[in-house]
Structure 1
Amino acid sequence: MNKKFNIQTILVAPLDWGLGHATRCIPIIQTLLNNGYTVIIAATGKQKILLQQEFPSITFIELKGYQISYSKSKFFLPLKIITQIPTILSAIRYEHQWLKKVVEQYHIDLVISDNRYGLYHSTKPCVFITHQLTIKMPFYWLEKLVQKINYRFINQFSACWVPDFEGENNLAGVLSHPQKMPTTPVHYIGLLSRFSTQEVSEIKYDYCIVLSGPEPQRTILEEKILAAIDTVKATILLVRGKPDSQEIFSTPKHITIKNHLANKELNIAMQQSNYIICRSGYTTVMEVLSLQKKSILIPTPGQTEQEYLAKKLMQQQWCYSVEQQYFSLQQIISTAENNEYDLPTLQTNSLATKIAVLLKSL
């Protein structure tokens, strides 16, 4: 137990931007529980539903999200985000005041915030989790301005944990390794993956398609896949990324569609697949690479971070990538075996040790 602050109760709060922030908190939450800490989770919507399925006995607090909306066109997305800055700043101010009340009510000793900028406290240690110390923007001057604002918030926290490796053999490139760092202590904690490599008796699927990310782009990609899925001969598992849905689909025997799969089920399903088709969201990429699976990445249109990551990893032959506007399920399947891969061996089992050390340093 941490004697400096006598840490016993820890609040974990992921951002409501897709499911990635919630899923990458799973190994952190599990590590904390394994070490005897009391964990309280603050979340809303699909993120809350997903985490409740993984941790049904944990206390949950409703915390409204930033509720960022996306455009259907990638070209208008930056403008769409910029117009929502007042709403985002309002949400940050709200959660900062919200935290003051919650700390007192639930006797919180430590806050772990995954990209929620307002969850810092004047008397309690607070950790900010992000892989984006650099937030990619379409213009250099805008990127520098956004980084300055980003650091202004990050520097309010006691520490910043970056889910990546510290050296040159890292995953996120300039996103997590900028030239200029925040003044608050930055610690690289390695990859965050809820999955572990397990022996599977057989390959069950040719392709496991995992949908994720914000609307409307999740649905747009899903519609492209569903329009073509009955015409392909490959065995396919489609995981829709909708833990709040009960929808049932009628499909041929070689096609399986699931609204959502729990952690262990998805872990096994991905390892029973030859290829993973998914977004190039950072959390998804961490999970796929931790299992050393061949992947075909489809960046969310307009999300410069995902576009950068997919391009970088394809150049390293860690994945294959295709833009959504050019994505064809039939073409991907017909050419998949021609893609060249040089998958890395990445260490993923040191999280517990690193967290124990970092908690003592707060």
Structure 2
Amino acid sequence: MAITAESSSNYNHKMTTNPEQKRILVAPLHWGLGHATRCIPIIKALLEHNFEPIIASDGAALDLLKKEFPILKFFELPSYNISYPKNEKHLKWHFLKSIPHFLKTIKREKAVVKKIVETEKLTGIISDNRFGVWHNEIPCVYITHQINVLSGNTTWLTSKIHQNIIAKFDECWIPDFESKPNLSGKLGHPKAKFPNLKYIGPLSRFHREMSEETIDKLVILSGPEPQRSILEGKLISLLKSKKENIVIVRGIVEEEQNITEIKNIKLYNFMTSIELESTIIKSKLVISRSGYTTIMDLAKLKKKAIFIPTPGQFEQLYLAEYFLKLKIIPSFLQDNITAKDLEWNPNFSGFKFKESVIDFENLFSLF
């Protein structure tokens, strides 16, 4: 795959060309938008600490970051083309069949990154779950909340494979609290100790502010197809008869923002970070997947929520059950969801985790 790079000039952060400025490649995985959005505070912090971030990704993740940081330089990486089967029972077989493609993509990814390191004279790499984005001659960081990768009776194998990948990097940043209470549970807290792990605190692009809650329910959709569209259809059907102010963010990044209305529901194809932050703050209740980035954002904003995990995705099913058992956030399976399930249960607390401040200056000292 040919390397493509492009840039624009209407981002409001002042940037000047500085030959002494260190260049850091930031490369999030395109699996929904979560990996890209949690890299936003890292990219902003790099700019604030006088680094020059260079972005590399693919698909909607790349499109989103172009909208957030249009003045930066972007490279397109080979796509993993992650998708989900309609029947969740076929998920494991679906991914097993995809292994040859994944391995080929990792190999192509390594080749592209090698060229970027040479042409851009990089001094460091931050990879968010992209296995092939590393280079043995410069400091490399891997971001993940899954040291343990759940996959049913093959969890031991998938965790071992992932841990071997993590071991190639100089540091692994885990966006969570090290001690209890924490957001990732056993996913990010293995029993065995690994020398390159760093718990940096939850990553969120949002900032908490007080505002009147004028939106009754906010639905945030994300993740691979066809499950994203299946859930969208179910929720519209269940919510359109309610006498409430409802907003749905479809999670489809396109050239232009489109807003449509279905009875009491206002649908956005996507929102920028600033728009989504304001909308979440103004919402009484958020309905979403139990993806980890969404969890970090809602915890930051201390919101009430209802989780509907992606069918067959072990990580989301575990996280939904984790917060259900803690009586923090209720959750329901997609296939059985009812209108009654979409009402807040006062027996749950909602997110009330402590505030955390990430020491970016210390983290960036690696570079």
Q: How does 1:20-35 map to 2 (within 5 A)?
A: 20-35=34-49
Distance 2:306 2:24 in 1: 37
SS in 1 for 2:284: strand
SS in 2 for 1:24: helix
Which of these residues, 151, 160, 169, is aligned with residue 172 of structure 2? 160
1:312-360 deviation line (CA, Å, top 9, x unaligned) = 11111221111101112x2134x42444225323223x12x2x211222
What amino acid does structure 1 have at the position aligned with 2:105?
Answer: A
Distance 1:315 1:182 in 2: 28
Distance 1:249 1:197 in 2: 28
> Per chain length, whose mean CA-contact separation is higher, i.e. which structure has more relative contact order (CA < 8 Å, sep 6+)?
1
The range that moved more, 273-282 or 75-84, is 75-84
- Does the alignment pair 1:319 with 2:324? no
Q: How does 1:214-253 map to 2 (within 5 A)?
A: 214-244=224-254, 249-252=260-263
- Does the alignment pair 1:358 with 2:363? yes
Q: Which residue of 1 aligns with 2:17?
A: none
Relative to the length of structure 2, the TM-score reads 0.91
- Does the alignment pair 1:287 with 2:297? yes
Distance 2:104 2:142 in 1: 19
- Does the alignment pair 1:106 with 2:116? no
State whether residues 288 and 307 of structure 2, in contact with CA within 8 Å, keep that contact through their aligned partners in structure 1. yes
Distance 1:250 1:179 in 2: 49
Q: How does 1:261-272 map to 2 (within 5 A)?
A: 261-272=271-282
- Does the alignment pair 1:171 with 2:180? no
SS in 1 for 2:344: helix
State whether residues 78 and 108 of structure 2, in contact with CA within 8 Å, keep that contact through their aligned partners in structure 1. no
Q: Which residue of 2 aligns with 1:345?
A: 353
Distance 1:342 1:129 in 2: 26
Q: Mark the CA change 1:347 to 1:338 in structure 2 (over 3 Å): closer, same or farther.
A: closer
1:251-299 deviation line (CA, Å, top 9, x unaligned) = 22x3211111110111011110100000000000110111000000000
- Does the alignment pair 1:143 with 2:151? no
The range that moved more, 189-198 or 220-229, is 220-229
SS in 1 for 2:125: strand
SS in 2 for 1:67: coil
Q: How does 1:295-310 map to 2 (within 5 A)?
A: 295-310=305-320
Give how far 1:131 is off: 0.3
Give how far 1:78 is off: 1.2
- Does the alignment pair 1:257 with 2:267? yes
1:70-108 deviation line (CA, Å, top 9, x unaligned) = 111111111111111111111111111211111001111
Relative to the length of structure 1, the TM-score reads 0.92
Give how far 1:118 is off: 0.9
* Percentage identity across paired residues of the two chains: 40
Distance 2:346 2:353 in 1: 22
SS in 1 for 2:311: coil
Q: Mark the CA change 1:147 to 1:345 in structure 2 (over 3 Å): closer, same or farther.
A: closer
What amino acid does structure 1 have at the position aligned with 2:40?
Answer: I
RMSD across aligned C-alpha pairs, in angstroms? 1.6
State whether residues 211 and 222 of structure 1, in contact with CA within 8 Å, keep that contact through their aligned partners in structure 2. yes
Unpaired segments ≥5 residues, structure 2: 1-19
What amino acid does structure 1 have at the position aligned with 2:45?
Answer: T
State whether residues 151 and 182 of structure 1, in contact with CA within 8 Å, keep that contact through their aligned partners in structure 2. no
Q: Which residue of 2 aligns with 1:273?
A: 283
Which of these residues, 72, 77, 102, is aligned with residue 58 of structure 1? 72
SS in 1 for 2:25: strand
Distance 1:133 1:91 in 2: 22
Give how far 1:179 is off: 1.2
State whether residues 330 and 345 of structure 2, in contact with CA within 8 Å, keep that contact through their aligned partners in structure 1. no
Q: Which residue of 2 aligns with 1:118?
A: 132
What amino acid does structure 1 have at the position aligned with 2:213?
Answer: I
Q: Which residue of 2 aligns with 1:10?
A: 24
State whether residues 161 and 187 of structure 1, in contact with CA within 8 Å, keep that contact through their aligned partners in structure 2. yes
What amino acid does structure 2 have at the position aligned with 1:86?
Answer: P
State whether residues 318 and 342 of structure 1, in contact with CA within 8 Å, keep that contact through their aligned partners in structure 2. yes
Distance 2:193 2:80 in 1: 25
State whether residues 139 and 366 of structure 2, in contact with CA within 8 Å, keep that contact through their aligned partners in structure 1. no
The range that moved more, 313-322 or 302-311, is 313-322
SS in 1 for 2:105: helix
Q: Mark the CA change 1:100 to 1:112 in structure 2 (over 3 Å): closer, same or farther.
A: same
Distance 2:350 2:143 in 1: 29
Distance 1:239 1:20 in 2: 14
